[in-house]
Every structure is written in C-alpha cells, then in structure tokens.
Structure 1
C-alpha cells in the first residue's frame, strides 16, 4: 500500500471503530501513535545504533538495549508531546473551562427557576405564554451555559411538568424544551464557536459577532412559531386563567424581573460586550463571567461548598474531554496529512468539479449525518478540519462556514433516531410521555433550522455585517 492509501485506510478504520462504540479520544490517540509510528519509522537508524554498539564492543544485552532504544526513538512520540502542550497552552481554549464553570454554577444557583416563573407571569397575555417563557428562559440559560444536556434536563424538570399541568399538548411542550435547549450551540458566548475558532484559526471575536444575528433569527423563528401555532390551535396551549396566574401588579413584576431576568442578562451581555468591543480577550471575559456566576450564586444564597465542589468537578471533567479530543485529533490529523490523506480527499473533491453551493450542501449533509452518532465537539474537532482546506478552492469564508455548521449542529441533538435532546427529556419525563411524542414536537424546529440556513445563504450579510462594522473587512 502507498502512504495515501494507508491514510485513507486509517480514516476508514477510525470511523469503523467509533461506530463500534470505542472511546473517541483514546481511539484517536491510539491510532495516531500506531499509524504515526509507521509514517515516521526509520529502520536504518535502528541498525546504525546496533552496529555502533557492536563496534564499541558492547555486550549482548547492551546491543539489544541500543536496538530497542533506537526502535522507540520515533518522531511520533515527540509530535504527541508537542501537540499535547500546544492544546494545553492554547489561549482560545483557556476560555472553555471558565465558561463551563460559569454555566455549571449558574445552573446550581436556582436562578433558572426564578427566571421561568417571572417570564411566565410577564408573558401571561400572549398565546402559548408558558411556551414563550420556556423558550426565552432556554435561550438565556443555554447562552449562559452552552451545555445542551444541562439546559434540556433542568428545563425539563422546571417547565415541562408545568406545561403539562397547564394542559399543554405533550408534543408541543416537548418540542419547545428540546429546541430551546440547543440554542446555546449558536448564540454567543457559545463554547462550540470557541472550539471551531481553535480548530479553524478564525478570530473568535469575529465569530461571535457573526453569530449574533443568525442566533437571534433562529430564536425569533421559534418564538413566532409558538405564538402562531398557539393562536391558530389554542387547544395545544390553553390560556391560563386568572386564578392560575394570579394578580401581579406592574411594580411587583418589575421587581421580579429585576431580581431574576436582569442579573443573568447583564452578566451575559457584560461578558459578550467585553469580547466584541475588545475590552477583554475571550479568556479574560470568561473569567469575569465565572466570577459573576459566583457572585450571583452568593447573592441568591445558593453558593454552598457542595455546589461549588460539584461545579468544579464537572468543569474539570468536561474540559478534560474537550482537551484530549483536541490532542488526539490534532495528532491524528498531522499523521493523516503527513501520509498524504489530505491531498487524496482534496483532489477527489476538486475533481468532482462541484460548484460552491453544491459543496456547501454536500458538506452540511455529511455533518448532519455525523450528528446522529457523534456529539458536536467530536464533529468540530475531528471532521470539520477535513473540509477546511477546501474552503479556499470554493472561495467560501471560514467564518460563514462555521456559522452554517453552528446552525446545522443543532440538528445533531434533535434528529431521530439519535436525538440526544429527546433522550435527555425522556429521562426526566413522566412515564406517559413517549419518545414518539417528543420526536413529533421536535420536527417543526428541524424545518426552521433548515429554513434559517437557507436564509443565511441567501443573505450572507446576516453573518458578515456586524463583524465588518465593528472590526472592518
């Protein structure tokens, strides 16, 4: 086999192994070291070391030791160590554990329960008021955490039972929770965009600026859908009676918003504004956010030692997963490229003579299908780098490509049969709620995601206008 054929075999074997359920990070690292040893193997060096030991009159065991030492002296081990150091010292990735900590501490501070209760009262005169409140709460909480499982689970415990008790249609309520919980993948300060920036080399501040309008567009489509559907079919989301909502004066409502909505909103806007306007680097802003999360938890009387310890533990656990995925992926990609695999894929795609839009559609379909068995982090770190070298050929801006992916990856949590958001919700739902009911509720949101991707392609200035206004071309 030629080296490029070995590279293609390496990629195919990796996909086969992860489909069997092997741990992805360790599979990447193991295959990178194994195939890397073959790629960087230098047999003559071993014999030279052995001959040198013989010429120096070394004993048999010393000769064997010299041979084994030369055998183990392979550049793949140096590459692996260097890639590990590069990941751990990456300034962009430093923001990941800090944003994660902010999200975990906010999740455990009982802020979300207050927020949902207040927004539910504030939206009481709208059709589907409880669903609208749940969507806004999901969007805000997902933006603060960026952790889909945490948002869907917590909102499934808070808002989903409340909607069912208010006689909401099961599928309608389930779709709101699942779709709203995924918005944090796109709306800044998104952890997914940080990981994409580290993978692609695109400026994270430009990515954040570019993702704002598409993120608000998608969230607005969700809210409009809920309002229109609840208005047209009021039996799906019955309007609450005055007894159920209770009488709340405007002054009392303002105080409730002041103590629930505004603190979290101000924290998010402060972090995002510091990044977008160059007042702080993403890592510095994330540190501010983490400190702000601690202050909020303390202000609400929810900062206990157990909650702090649990938040730190979950932060370390998730950060380690992301970092080791990067180490494995970058080492794997280096070996794959050294063997010529990157050129094989590039030459094959270029040889198809695709147009830019055809390439975009093909790439998004592949990413959509990868979303069934894989998490977004694995798709971004492992497979997106395969597409990145082709963007220049098709004259596609990596920033635009990244935002399209951020939109697309929400489907990875929402598309049956591996819709993880549905499984998160099912895990904490009452026994009578069936998976098929949740899938039915999710379907309209999948259509809206595809529609928003179409709008972004037709009007790319949705992604480019704000970065150009703030930072220039």
Structure 2
C-alpha cells in the first residue's frame, strides 16, 4: 500500500472504531501514535545503534538496550508530546474552562426558575405566552452556559411540566425545550466557536461578531413559529390564566425583571460587549463572567460549598475532554497529512469540478450526517479541519463557513434517531411522554434551521456586516 492509501485506511478504521463506541479521544491518540510510528519509522537508525554496540564488543544486555532504545527512537513520540504541550498552552482554549465554570455556577444559582416565572407573566397577553417565555429562557440560559444537556434537562424539569399542566400539546412543548436548549452553541459567547477558532485559526472576536446576527435570526424564526402556531392553532397552546392578573402593575413587573431577567442579561452582555469592543480578550472576559456568576450565585443565596465543588469538578471534566480531543485530533491529523491523506482528498475534490455552492452543500450534508453519531466537539475538532484546506479552492471565507457549521450543528441535537436533546428531555419527562412525540415536536424547528441557513447563504452580509463594521475586512 502507498502512503496515501494507508492514510485513507487509517481514516476508515477510525470511523469504524468510533461507531463501535470506543472513547474518541483515546482512539485518536492510539491511532495517531500507531500509524505515526509506521509513517516515521526508520529501521536503519535502530540497527545502526545495534551494529555499533556489537562492533564495540558490548555485552548482550547493552546490545538489547540499544536495540530497544532505537525501536522507541521515533519522531511520533516527539510529535505527540509537542502537540500535547501546544494544546495546553493555547491562549484561545484558556477561555473554555472559564466559560464552562460560569455556566455551571449560573445553572446552580436558582436563576432560571425566577426567570421563567417572570417572563411568563410579562408575556401573558401574547399567544402561547408560556411557550414564548420558555423559549426566551432557554435562549438566555443556553447563551450563559453553552451546555446543551444542562439547559434541556433543567428546563425540562422546570418549564416542561408547567406547560403540560397548562394543557399545552406535548410535541409542541417538547420541541420548544429541545430547540431552545441548543441555541447556546451558536449565540456568543459560545464555547463551540472558541473550539472552531482554535481549530481553524479564525479570530474568535470576529467569529463572535459574525455569529450574533445569525443567532438572533434563528431565535427570531423560532419565536415567529411559536407565536404563529399558537395564534393559528390555539389548542396547542391554550391561553394561560394568571391569578391576580389585574394586580400585575407596571411597577411589580419591573421589579420582577430587575431581580430575575436583567442580572443574567447584564452578565452576558457585559462579557460579550467587552470582547467585541476590544476591552478584554475572550479569556479575560470569561474570567469576568466566572466572577460574575459567583456574584450572582451569592446574591441569590445559592453559593454553597457543595455547589461550588460540583461546578469545579464538572468544569475540569469537560475541559479535559475537549483538550484531550484536541491532542488526539492534532496528532491524528498530522500523521494523516504526513501520509498524504489531505492531498489525495484535495485532488479528488478538484477533479469533481463543482461550484462553491455544491461544495458547501456537500460539506454541510456530511456534517449533518456526522451529527447523528457524534457530538459537536468531535465534529469540529476531527472532521471540520478536513474541509478547511479546501475553502481557498472555492473562495469561501472560513468565518462564513464556521458560522454555517454552527447553524448546521443545531440539527445534530434535533434529528432522529440520535437527537441528543430529545433523549435529554425524555430522561426527565413524565412517563406518559413518548420519545416519538418529542421527535415530532423537533421537526418544525429543524425546518427553521434550514431556512436560517438558506437566508444566510443568500444574504451573507448577515455574517459579515457586524465584523466589518467593528473591525474592517
């Protein structure tokens, strides 16, 4: 087999192994080191050391030691150590544990229940008021945490039973929780965009600026669908009757907003504004956000030693997963590239003679399909870098491609049979709620994602306008 054929065989074996359920980070590292040893192996170096030992009259033990030392004298081990150090010293990735800690602290600060109650009261005259409140709460909480499972689970325990009690359609309520919980991987400050920036070399501040309007566009489409369906089909979202509605004065509503909505919104806007305005790097802004999360938890009297310890533990665990995925991915991709894998893929795509639109459709279709068995972190770290070298051939901006991928990855949480948001919700839903009902509720929101992607392609200025306005081309 030639080296490029070995590279493709390596990629095929990797996909087969992860479909069997093996841990992806350690599979990447093992295959990178294993195939890397083959790629960098120089038998002459090993035997030269052994022959010199024989010529010098060394004893059997010294000869064996030199032979074994020559066996392990392979560049792949140096590459693996260097890749590990590079990942751990990456300034962009420093923001990941800080944003995660901010999210876990906010999750445990008892903010979400106050927020949902307040927004339900504020939106009480809007069709589907409880659904609107749940969607806005999901969007705000998902933006603050960036952790899909945490948002869907917490909102499934808080808002989902309330909507079912108000006789909302089960599928309609399920779709709102599942779709709203995924918005955090798109709307800044998004951890997914930080990971994409580290993998692609695109400026994280430009990614944040570029993702802001598409994020609002998708959230707006969700709201239009929810309000429109509640208005056209009142049976799916009956009007909520709030006790003492006449006593809800403007002052009381303002007080509720001041004590629930504005603190979290201010924290998010302060972090994002500091990054976009250039007042702080993402890592510095993330540290401010983590401190702000601690302050909010203390204000709401939810800052206990147990919750702090849980937040630190979950932060360390998730950060370790992301970092080891990077180590494995960069080792794997370095060996794959050294063997000529990237070159053969690039030559194959060049021979297809396709347009930029066709390339984008193929790339997004592959990412859409990968979203069934894989998490977004694995797709961004492992598979997206395969497409990045091809962007220049088709004149596609990596910034635009990254935001399009972030939109596309919303579908990985909503598309059966591996819709993780649906499984998160099913895990904490009442027994009578069937998984098929949750899947049914997700389909309209999938349609909204595809509409948002089409709008973004037709009007790319949705992505470029804000970065150009703030930073220039």
TM surpasses 0.5 = yes
Deviations 1:423-452 (A, max 9, x none): 000000000000110011100000010000
Deviation track 1:123-181 (CA, whole Å, cap 9, x = no partner) reads 00000000000000000000000000000000000000000000100000000000000
Counterpart in 2 of 1:418? Answer: 418
In structure 2, C-alpha distance between the alignment counterparts of 1:216 and 1:201, rounded to whole Å: 25
Q: Quick one: distance in 1 between partners of 2:420 and 2:223?
A: 22
Distance across 2 between alignment mates of 1:245 and 1:35: 68
Q: Which runs of 5+ in 2 are unaligned?
A: none
Q: 2:219 is matched with which residue?
A: 219
Residues in 2 aligned to 1:320 and 1:247: alpha-carbon distance in whole angstroms:
51
SS of equivalent residue, structure 1 residue 94: helix
Equivalent position SS for 2:410: helix
* Contact in 1 for aligned 2:121/2:242 (Cα 8 Å): no
**Correspondence list, 1:73-152, <5 A:** 73-152=73-152
1:277 matches 2:296: no
Superposed displacement of residue 241, structure 1: 2.0
Tell me what 2:191 maps to: 191
Q: Which residue of 1 aligns with 2:436?
A: 436
Q: 1:171 to 1:306 in 2, by over 3 A?
A: same
Task: Give the Cα–Cα distance (whole angstroms) in 2 for the partners of residues 204 and 81 of structure 1.
Answer: 26
SS in structure 2 at match of 1:54: helix
**1:388 maps onto 2:397 in alignment:** no
CA gap 1:245/1:343 in 2 versus in 1, 3 angstroms: farther
The count of corresponding residues between Structure 1 and Structure 2 is 473
Mapped to 2, the partners of 1:307 and 1:222 lie a distance apart of: 33
Deviation sequence 1:365-412 (CA, Å, 0-9, x none):
000000000000000000000000000000000000000000000100
Distance 1:243 1:118 in 2: 14
Q: Give the structure 2 partner of residue 257 of structure 1.
A: 257
The secondary structure found in structure 2 opposite 1:392 is helix
Indicate the residue corresponding to 1:300 in structure 2: 300
What's the secondary structure of 2:468's corresponding residue?
helix
Q: Deviations over 1:60-104 (max 9, x none)?
A: 110011011011011100000000000000000000000000000
Q: Identify if the C-alpha distance between structure 1 residues 42 and 246 changes in structure 2 by more than 3 Å, giving closer, same or farther.
A: farther
Equivalent residue runs for 1:162-181 within 5 Å: 162-181=162-181
The alpha carbon displacement at 1:244 in A equals: 7.8
User: Could you say what the CA RMSD is over the residues aligned between the two structures, in angstroms?
Assistant: 0.8
Residues 36 and 249 (structure 1 numbering): CA distance in 2 closer, same or farther, change over 3 Å? same
Indicate yes or no: 2:49 matched with 1:42. no
Contact 2:391 2:398 in 1 (8 A): yes
Task: Look up the match of 2:20.
Answer: 20
CA distance in structure 2 between the partners assigned to 1:75 and 1:331 by the alignment: 12
Q: Taking structure 1 as the reference length, what is the TM-score of the superposition?
A: 0.99
TM-score by length of 2: 0.99
Match for residue 445 of structure 2?
445
Helix, strand or coil for the counterpart of 1:279? coil
Question: Hey, which bits of structure 1, 4+ residues long, moved more than 4 A?
Answer: none
- d(CA) in 2 for partners of 1:246 and 1:307? 39
> Offset at 1:54?
1.1
The gaps in structure 1 that reach 5 residues or longer are none
Look up the match of 1:154: 154
Query: Using a 3 Å threshold, how does the CA distance of structure 1 residues 52 and 245 change in structure 2: closer, same or farther?
Result: farther
How far residue 243 of structure 1 moved from its aligned partner, in angstroms, is: 2.9
2:326 aligned residue: 326
Q: Which residue of 2 aligns with 1:341?
A: 341
**Partners of 1:243 and 1:38 in 2: CA distance:** 72
Structure 2 Cα separation of the partners of residues 241 and 63 of structure 1: 87
Distance 2:50 2:139 in 1: 65
Partner of 1:267: 267
